[in-house]
Copies of this chain bind each other. A is one copy, B any other.
Amino acid sequence: MLVRFDELRGTLERALLRLGVTGERAALSSRLIAEADRDGVHTHGIARFPLFADMITAGHLSATAEPTVTARFGALERWNGNLGPGNLAAHAAMARAMELAAQHGLGGVAMANTAHWQRGGTYGWQAAEAGFAAICWTNTLPNLPPWGATTPALGNNPLVIAIPREGDGGPAPIVLDMAMSQYSYGTLAAYRQRGQALPFAGGFDAAGELTTDAGAIETSRRALPIGLWKGSGLSFALDVLGAMLADGQATYQIPNDFTQEMGLSQVFLAMSPEALRSNEGMRAIASEAIAFLHAAEPIVAGRPARYPGERTLETRAENLAKGVPVPEAPWATTQRLAAGEVRVAPVDRGPLGFAER
């Protein structure tokens, strides 16, 4: 189904207001969610909104909680997300990391006790559109077996790297947004439902053999880390480093239940625009590197290698022109929430982030 961007955003905003997210915060959160679908990241747009609404209604998250600073180390701050809306907390954390970077060259916020940030690339685009480079990551519940084991003990811990670049029509940044699993469970489900084999092995089947059968991986729960032992190690290192900087939970402390995935640890690092410039101004290096990438001999004639984020601007333009494709069930739920047709009971939360029922 195609929905105009403004209608998508406005409906989300009204639903957020019903859930108790107030004023400017509902406007910003709805924009960030709608932008994920606008940019083609449908797994992390409105598709996640019913789960968010359930977590608010159940009192697991607070609609009104805002992050607070718990320690300052100069260019690096430690925050508590206070179990408020994860996208608002992450957006505030990246904004603060940029302020710190503007002052110190480098800036960082490590945030404990926060909720799912939804689309990770959001915070990369936020930084790069403002002229900052950024590196950020989050941990998750345990959803990935470490290399050499069959049971989940790692998160897929998405990592984002963003680099500002000016295109002909405005910002055209490089934005990498990747989880540490080769395929997400959402992607596996989509392949199974279409009856298609994965293009490349995505995990192990019950017999311990690498397989392109998405359903077999859903059953075994043995999805493949990127780069096998390498992504397994990278995921572990990001988790531990993030939890230590944030003084927050590591993956081993997070319940393995996506309806309870909260109390996450996240890190936001920003580098100032000044530190990305040479004496001649912002260098053309990003554009020249892209040209070099495009000049590599393609496997399929006419389809050159792409840089991270390359499809985004095209997808965005198309969806703004023709309407944003949205998944039907979450859209219907959101419309009902916005119209007040679903009973919701936002719960007030104490300072420790626990629901007071």
A residues bordering B, Cβ < 8 Å? 71-76, 78, 103-108, 110, 133, 135, 145-154, 159, 161, 163, 174, 176, 178, 182, 200, 208, 210, 225-228, 230-234, 236-241, 243-245, 247, 250-252, 269, 271-272, 274-276, 278, 283, 285-286, 288-289, 291-293, 295-300, 303-308
Contacts and interface: CB of A to CB of B under 8 A. Distances in A.
Given A74-B104, A227-B227, A240-B163, A296 B150 contact: yes
Nearest to A286: B240
6 contacts: A75-B75, A152-B296, A153-B295, A226-B226, A226-B230, A252-B292
A174 B293 CA distance: 33
A279 B52 CA distance: 32
Chain A facing B: main interface SS = mixed
A306 B306 CA distance: 34
Given A106-B108, A250-B288, 8 more contacts: A148-B303, A149-B297, A151-B297, A154-B293, A176-B237, A178-B227, A182-B230, A244-B285
Given A226-B227, A233-B308, A289 B148 contact: no
Nearest 5 interchain pairs by C-beta: A226-B227, A73-B105, A76-B105, A149-B296, A252-B292
B308 A237 contact: yes
Nearest to A307: B236
Contact of A74 (B105, B108, B250): B105
Contacts of A289: 236, 239-240, 243, 250-252
Nearest to A267: B271
Contacts of A285: 240, 243-244, 250
